[in-house]
Structure 1
Amino acid sequence: MDVPELLESASLLVPEETATENDITVRDVWDYLVHDEWEIALSLLEEFGHARSLPLAFWEKLAESADQLKLERSAAWCHWRCSEIRNGVIRADLTLRPAAEARRKTPISGAGVLRPMWDIGLLSPTGERAVSIAGLWIENMPMLEPGGRATVRLVPLTPSHWTHVEPGRQITMHENRTVAGTAVILEVHRPAIAEPAG
């Protein structure tokens, strides 16, 4: 499919009564599509995804559109939302350790590139601390400096490891054996797509 077809198809997955914070509706998106304003239409469709939970197919179509339009950040976000639907998402308040106290001396990218290890209270078969990997997206910020604080979205690599994690729990982020940051869980959303039995 080409970009207009993908965006038209995605817009059909948005309930007609849905509106953004600025009262933009699907009809407005169609106006932009008719005038070949694909980037604006894509951006508005992404906003609908903030207002409500939309299906995986919606985000897949937006991701493919953004890829074709070569909109890197938008494509990364739409692919990220696909991962959230498949694996679940944990929103948390993360504070990184200051550069003087941690291994990391540079900012971390906010666009889901980093996949750190997290101590979420699991133990190995020998009783030692076990960590679980989750991708990290920083909300409303392009990057986070050492010592900084932000709301983040975590997508577990293995969702079954995270079933015991609940809001209010404190977890620690690791890039090596030392603690890189501390996070307090704000929200937990389980995978929308069941994991295959295996």
Structure 2
Amino acid sequence: MDVPELLARACALVPGDARSDAGLSAGDVREYLRLTEWDSALGILGDFPDSPWQTVEFWSLLERAAGRMWLDREVAWCRWRGWEARHGVIRAELRLVPPDAAGGRRLPIPGEGRLRPMWAIGAPSPDAGLHVARVWVESAPEIPPGGHGVIRLAPLTPADWRHLEPGAPITMHEGRPVAGTATIVQVTAPPGHDGAEGE
């Protein structure tokens, strides 16, 4: 399939009443496709708020279209969102320890899911240890040392994180001292959430 067909198929999966964060709809996507403005159409399709209609198929179509347009960051984002469609969404407000304090990072947290720190998530049991999860920084290319921002988490073992609820505190570890503290702001279970786990 070529780019317009991939985007048109993804657009067909968008409910008629769905609106992007900018207030745009599937009709706007179709108009951009008519004008051969594929980047704009892809941008709108990737800008809809988290919703159950955003299936693995939807994100796979967008990933393939972005790949054919050589848009590496968009490919990574669509792949991330496809993972979330299978395993659920976990978002948190992260505040990093200052760089001059014990555990503080001297380098920024990269925004595109490359960092895989360990997290203390409080349960299922107090002695469960630390859990690995990749980090995607929302609305910014990175979080600077000592900074803060909203992140999305992709755990290595998603089932171990299902007890978390908004407001729950978790801590990020890259060594013995705490590297950052976070508060969960969203947990959305995957459809059926009894399927196979893993990445």
Distance 1:96 1:15, change over 3 A: same
Q: Corresponding residue for 2:158?
A: 159
Per-residue deviation, 1:91 = 1.2
Q: Corresponding residue for 1:104?
A: 105
Q: Is 1:64 paired with 2:64?
A: yes
**Cα distance per residue 1:132-167 (max 9 Å; x no partner):** 111111111111111111111112221111122122
- Answer whether contact 1:168 1:185 (CA < 8 A) is retained: yes
Greater fraction of residues in helix: 1
**Cα distance per residue 1:3-27 (max 9 Å; x no partner):** 1111010000001222334442212
Q: Give the superposed CA RMSD.
A: 2.1
**Cα distance per residue 1:52-110 (max 9 Å; x no partner):** 43222111110111111111121111111111111212111110011111252111111
Separation in 2 of the partners of 1:123 and 1:153? Answer: 20
Runs of 4+ off more than 6 Å: none
Identity of aligned residues (%): 45
Q: Corresponding residue for 2:142?
A: 143
- Answer whether contact 1:92 1:151 (CA < 8 A) is retained: yes
- Answer whether contact 2:121 2:170 (CA < 8 A) is retained: yes
* Matched pairs, number: 194
Separation in 2 of the partners of 1:172 and 1:96? Answer: 10
Q: Corresponding residue for 1:75?
A: 75
Separation in 2 of the partners of 1:5 and 1:39? Answer: 14
Unaligned 5+ runs, structure 2: none
Q: Answer with 15-24 or 179-188: which moved more.
A: 15-24
Q: Corresponding residue for 2:115?
A: 114
Separation in 1 of the partners of 2:24 and 2:162? Answer: 36
SS in 2 for 1:20: coil
Unaligned 5+ runs, structure 1: none
Separation in 1 of the partners of 2:17 and 2:32? Answer: 18
Q: TM-score, normalization: structure 1?
A: 0.89
Separation in 1 of the partners of 2:22 and 2:166? Answer: 30
Q: Corresponding residue for 2:186?
A: 187
SS in 1 for 2:121: strand
Separation in 1 of the partners of 2:6 and 2:175? Answer: 42
Q: Is 1:91 paired with 2:73?
A: no
Distance 1:75 1:161, change over 3 A: same
SS in 2 for 1:47: coil
Q: Specify the code of the residue in structure 2 equivalent to 1:104.
A: R
